[in-house]
Copies of this chain bind each other. A is one copy, B any other.
């Protein structure tokens, strides 16, 4: 298989994986492109390679920088900005987990804890409280695990995961 073709396919695959995980397609594609490129790329390069508009490119590059997955790289003698993706996959996973925890899990836990404050004592209300408490429990456990993962270095997570897998 030819390199260019493989790159192309990789970008598509990563793009569609991203979109099923709540990260928009272009954002993942840009990320993929920067991952496989061994030198930093400019906005122009990205527009060119992915055939997307300037606005789209700009927006999604910003988002990747926000998420901490990509950083600006100044190239001497060039006025344009260049971008480069961090190559450490675990670091990348940590950052994605962090963003999503913040954006999605946190508000849900907040809400669930409020919902337990139902001041009724019918059988129905009891049932409701049980369900909500179970979910809160579950969500909090996920949250703690992510927290630890986020704060950890790669090594910690690697070890824990191996422990999980091996026995």
* Residues of A bordering B, CB below 8 Å: 1-3, 6-7, 9-10, 13, 17, 20-22, 35-36, 38, 87, 89-90, 93, 100, 103-104, 108, 111-112, 114-115, 117-120, 122-125, 127-128, 131-132, 134-135, 137-138, 141, 144-145, 148, 160-161, 163-165
Given A104-B17, A141-B165: A36 and B118 interface contact (C-beta under 8 Å): no
Closest 8 CB pairs of A and B: A38-B127, A89-B138, A13-B111, A89-B134, A6-B118, A6-B115, A3-B125, A3-B120
19 residue pairs of the A-B complex, CB under 8 angstroms, read A1-B114, A1-B117, A1-B118, A3-B124, A3-B125, A6-B115, A6-B128, A9-B115, A10-B112, A10-B128, A13-B112, A21-B22, A36-B131, A38-B124, A90-B138, A141-B161, A141-B165, A144-B165, A160-B164
